[in-house]
Amino acid sequence: MSRDPVVKAAAAKTAASEFEFLRGLPFGPFIPLNSPIHRLDSRTRILIVLALVTAFTASRSPIGLAVGLFFMLIGWWISRVPFEPLFRGWRAAAPFLLLLALLQVLMRTGGADQPVLFRIGPLAASTADLWMGAALLLRFAGLMAVLGLGAASISESDLTHGLEALLRPLRVLRVPVYDFVTAIQVTLRFFPLLAQTAERIAKAQASRGADWQSAGWNIPKRVRQIAPLIVPLFVVSLRRAENMALAMDTRGYGSLPTRTTMIRLQYGWNDAIAALTVTGVCAIIILL
């Protein structure tokens, strides 16, 4: 009988974790730390993220991608950001990534002229197919590491001021830079709001008898659980977007051609060192 409260508490904790959509996001929120990465200029951090995303996307070598992933783990350690959000994102995406990698291997995308290593019915795999499957897994893992570290080290304010400074030359071509930056800022702000809304809808459906027990790696069951969330989530999102548009209109957004800022961005020697280091890492990822 003494174990009943413990068992009930563990069961309640497990049931509550099924609805923690905000905690389950693969990219955690901004973490204000005094690390060397956080002290970089916001423009440098944005350019570093873009360069690493481009390198991981362009590379086709599993060795280069593995080296890049190793450097990204070093970057996480230097930034002092906890590794838990990264590992949680990898664990959540693992079933889908493994399925994609298996399809990549068995569909002979590496070339039909390669020698077959093993065969499963009409499907076969070669050494090149295995390398391409490994490259797919490493690429997605590296991209999640880059984007996760960027989200943890670049605040919304830094992103806004940095993008405005980087895209300011495009104003000569009459490109609506401020509207573009505002759209990105609003999109990033909506991610946690969508997670909170989905959590409330899931709790309401569970209270009415919907099955929200842990699906684990059962992908069809997970899809059946998420499908009923789509329509109410879209309705709430559209209503929130309409209210925000009305609020921006009433506050005179867009009435002036330019906006001023009180924050002055300055490059330093640490920005130059970081940019050169990341340039070398990107070259290794692509050319190794």
pLDDT tens by residue, 124-155: 566 666 777 778 888 888 888 898 888 888 88
User: Residue 69's closest CA among 13, 142, 6?
Assistant: 142
- Indicate whether 247 belongs to any domain: yes
- Indicate whether 2 belongs to any domain: no
Judgement on whether residues 92 and 201 belong to the same structural domain of the protein: no
Judgement on whether residues 212 and 122 belong to the same structural domain of the protein: no
- Indicate whether 18 belongs to any domain: no
Q: Lowest mean pLDDT of 28-32, 46-50, 162-166, name the range.
A: 28-32
Judgement on whether residues 84 and 212 belong to the same structural domain of the protein: no
Judgement on whether residues 150 and 278 belong to the same structural domain of the protein: yes
> Which residues, listed in sequence order, are joined to residue 119 by a DSSP beta bridge?
124
- Indicate whether 15 belongs to any domain: no
Q: What is the pLDDT of residues 194-225, one digit of tens each?
A: 777 877 877 777 777 766 665 555 667 666 76
Judgement on whether residues 47 and 34 belong to the same structural domain of the protein: yes
- Indicate whether 45 belongs to any domain: yes
- Indicate whether 275 belongs to any domain: yes
Judgement on whether residues 220 and 279 belong to the same structural domain of the protein: no
Q: What is the mean pLDDT of the chain?
A: 76
Element (H, E) at 95: helix 84-106
Judgement on whether residues 116 and 246 belong to the same structural domain of the protein: no
Judgement on whether residues 172 and 150 belong to the same structural domain of the protein: no
Do 124 and 106 contact (CB within 8 A), yes or no?
yes
Judgement on whether residues 143 and 162 belong to the same structural domain of the protein: no
Do 162 and 46 contact (CB within 8 A), yes or no?
yes
- Indicate whether 6 belongs to any domain: no
Judgement on whether residues 91 and 234 belong to the same structural domain of the protein: no
- In b/e form, how buried is each residue of 252-263, taking b as 16+ CB within 10 angstroms? eeeeeeeeeeee
Q: Does pLDDT of 243 surpass 60?
A: yes
Q: How much is the pLDDT for 118?
A: 57
| C-alpha distances in Å from residue 170, one per residue of 166, 173, 177 | 9, 5, 7
* Overall number of domains in the chain: 2
Distance between CA atoms of residues 43 and 159, nearest Å: 8
More confident residue, 214 or 69: 69
Range of the domain at 223: 157-257
Q: How much is the pLDDT for 153?
A: 87
- Indicate whether 108 belongs to any domain: yes
